Amino acid sequence: MNEKVYVPPIKIQGIKTKLVPLIRQSVIMQPNSVWIEPFMGSGVVGFNIEPHKAIFADTNPHIIEFYNQIKSGIITSYVVRDFLEREGKLLEEGDDNYYYTVRKRFNNEHHPLDFLFLNRACFNGMIRFNKDYDFNVPYGHKPRRFAKAYVTKIVNQVSHVESLLKTHSWEFFCQPFETTIAMAGMNDFIYCDPPYIGRHVDYYDSWDEKSELALHKALVDSNAKFMLSTWDHNDYRKNEYIATVWNDCQRITREHFYHVGAKEKNRNSVIEALLTNYTVTGKQNTLLKENEQLSIFNMMTV
């Protein structure tokens, strides 16, 4: 099994890079199963699972257009290097002004290369759109933002996806999760990483209780095997929907520590959960690192 985790060219808040090894060990697929990912975001999960056949979807049209242009050969690693070297130089000369020029250009023309540029030059690599569907993340100041080594890193990320798209049968659709899940057959595997309730980020990315209920219903109706990423609890709150909406699922939890500043007292943890409609065996324990505590326990079954 390939243990390396490849980071894709487009980043997004909530990216599941660190959970990929655990997800990879917990997925159950048949040789003819299609991987169905209705909330692809960066695509890091499916791109690393590397299923032969896959459907990737998202309501954010810019993510989908970016990958469709790689698939059709319009965006290549050469095109990306050329573009980022040129635009990076202009950013170095124009600084803030140039960033906002590109942001305005993107909001008028929606060019996927401008989307990549903004995603990698904006504050914290965020993706956020306002109510007019304009990208509105401010500039993430950094001297020599597109230095040669950084451009090469992004080019390698594009090149990796480019070669995957040549050898795998992957499709990309801009559509809501209901449409994507309806495409699943009972032998397929659906991995869902929806936005978290109450953490509304942007206008392609809103989520409420009605959406959570609709997602549960669509998954159950599909008769396919599914896995849902969500949060379980932190020191202050627990995710009430796990014991209500998702009480027919099994749950794997994993603790993540993160630091705010250097002091021990500022160490916080959040428990991430993977919910499945099948039993995960526990062999995934072998690859966890010291600070990655894993527990598997069954939820009550209705």
| Shortest Cβ 144–ligand SAM spacing (Å) | 27
Select the span of 12-20, 23-31, 136-144, 154-162 touching ligand SAM (CB under 6 A). 12-20
Query: Whole-number minimum distance, CB 20 to ligand SAM, in Å?
Result: 8
Q: With beta carbons less than 8 A apart as the criterion, state whether 46 and 27 touch.
A: no
Confirm or reject binding of residue 177 to ligand SAM (CB under 6 A): yes
Q: Does 16 interact with ligand SAM (rule: CB under 6 A)?
A: yes
> Per DSSP, what are the bridge partners of residue 56?
37, 172
Q: Does 14 bind ligand SAM (CB under 6 A)?
A: yes
- Rounded least distance, CB 231 to ligand SAM, Å: 11
Q: How many CB atoms lie within 10 A of CB 215?
A: 22
Which stretch in 38-46, 77-85, 101-109, 216-224 sits in contact with ligand SAM by CB under 6 A? Answer: 38-46
| Residues 13/3, Cβ–Cβ less than 8 Å | no
Q: Does 12 contact ligand SAM by CB under 6 A?
A: yes
Stretch that binds ligand SAM, among 77-85, 88-96, 111-119, 191-199 (CB under 6 A): 191-199
Residue 177 C-beta: closest distance to ligand SAM, Å:
4
Most distant pair of Cα atoms in the chain: their distance: 62
Q: Does 193 bind ligand SAM (CB under 6 A)?
A: yes
Sequence-distant (≥ 6) Cβ neighbours of residue 36 within 8 angstroms: 54, 55, 180, 181, 183, 184, 188, 189, 190, 191, 224
Written as one string, the DSSP assignment of 173-238 is: EE--HHHHHTT--TT-EEEE-PPPTT----TT----HHHHHHHHHHHHHH-SEEEEEEEEEESS-B
Please report the DSSP string for 10-39 in residue order. Answer: S--TT--GGGHHHHHHH----TTPEEEETT
Q: Which is nearer to ligand SAM, 98 or 177 (CB)?
A: 177
CB within 8 A of 91, min separation 6: which ones? 98, 99, 102, 121, 145, 146
Candidate list 60, 119, 157, 284; residue touching ligand SAM; CB under 6 A:
60
66 versus 177: smaller Cβ distance to ligand SAM = 177
Residue of minimal Cβ distance to ligand SAM: 41
Which residue matches tokens 């980022």? Answer: 84
- The reply to whether 195 sits near ligand SAM by the rule CB under 6 A is yes
Amino acid 138 reads: P
Q: Is 241 in the site for ligand SAM (CB under 6 A)?
A: no
| Least distance to ligand SAM, CB of residue 119, Å | 12
Stretch that binds ligand SAM, among 14-22, 77-85, 94-102, 243-251 (CB under 6 A): 14-22
User: What are the residues binding ligand SAM (CB under 6 A)?
Assistant: 12, 14-16, 38-39, 41-42, 44-45, 58-60, 176-177, 193-195, 204-205
